Amino acid sequence: MSQQIKAELTDVPGAKLSPEIQSMKPRKLTRAEQRAIDAKNRLSSPWASGVAIVLALLWTVPTFGLFLTSFRPANDIRRTGWWTWFGFPPGELTLANYEETLFGSSTDLSTFFLNSFVVTIPSVVIPITIALIAAYAFAWIEFPGRNILFVAVFALQVVPIQVTLVPLLSQYVSWGLAGSFWTVWLSHSIFALPLAIFLLHNFMKDIPASLIEAARVDGAGHVRTFFQVLLPLLVPAIASFGIFQFLWVWNDLLVSLTFAGGNRDVAPLTVRVAELAGSMGARWHLLSAGAFVSMFVPMIVFLALQRFFVRGLLAGSVKG
């Protein structure tokens, strides 16, 4: 603060610094604050802005090309690239691809949409609920082997999903759950828990311990402390992981196809998109339209809650 006062007074013509202000020493920045300043300087440089623009173009141009392709006739898609549409006169555009994608199946596409919501919402709520309880225990409850157990949970993130498919499927079959929503919910929850616990734990550790101590002095137990003190502060972290998990589950094909057994009664939208090309790939021109149909819902969710996504992922990433 003293350094800021000196800088502001120095910029005023004719201003004289009093001996008290001249004697004020600038506060030494913490390591976290210095890192933040250095990162801001690097990101605000012209080189960083140029790299960001290049990356944005590399990401946007193929996406725009895919979007334009979804409106082109099948014959044009097979013969020429999407950039040839910018001729004189411009190429033809049609809604035939979307009509066939939405209504060209014996099963109504609304069934697949409903299945995707039924699969996704519990697969987001279940791991968040369990991870909140586990993260609170790791952060604020002392018990033997806490650090070792937390490292073990964190290490589970490196286990590939493909390694677990056969053991889990065998167990689900023995329980009589194969081909139901329960197998997909449980599998997505299992795969999401390590990352969820890690992110929520880091966010909780950034909350000042004085808040927890004040709640305990007032006689609050763990349940009251969690719901009345911590939970309102955890909204950015919960929202960020919720968005991440929603996008992951909504776009997943492997887990649903493996554990739901391809059953149309529980198949999500990604299964329908995978079927669009046909068994011999004769209708591959429909994949671009199917891709934009399937990405409509997650795009709305991400754009509506993106500020929570960024704020929550950065929580706990910088330590002083």
| Cα–Cα dist 15/211, whole Å | 43
Nearest-10 crossing angle of helices 296-314, 181-206: 30
Confidence (pLDDT) at 27: 62
Q: What CATH number was assigned to the domain covering residues 102-314? A: 1.10.3720.10
Q: Which residues of the chain have pLDDT under 50?
A: 1-2, 4-12, 15, 21, 316-320
Domains of the chain, by residue range, sit at: 1-44, 53-94, 102-314
Q: Comparing C-alpha atoms, which of 167, 168, 193 is closest to residue 182?
A: 168
Confidence (pLDDT) at 129: 94
Confidence (pLDDT) at 66: 87
Other CB atoms within 10 Å distance of the CB of residue 222: 15
Stated length of the chain = 320
Q: Render pLDDT for 58-67 as a digit per residue (tens, 0 to 9).
A: 888 888 888 8
- Backbone φ and ψ of 56, nearest 5°: -65, -40
Task: Provide the whole-model pTM.
Answer: 0.74
Confidence (pLDDT) at 176: 85
Report residue 135 as tokens: 């993260």
Confidence (pLDDT) at 29: 61
Confidence (pLDDT) at 9: 47
| Cα–Cα dist 318/123, whole Å | 29
Confidence (pLDDT) at 17: 52
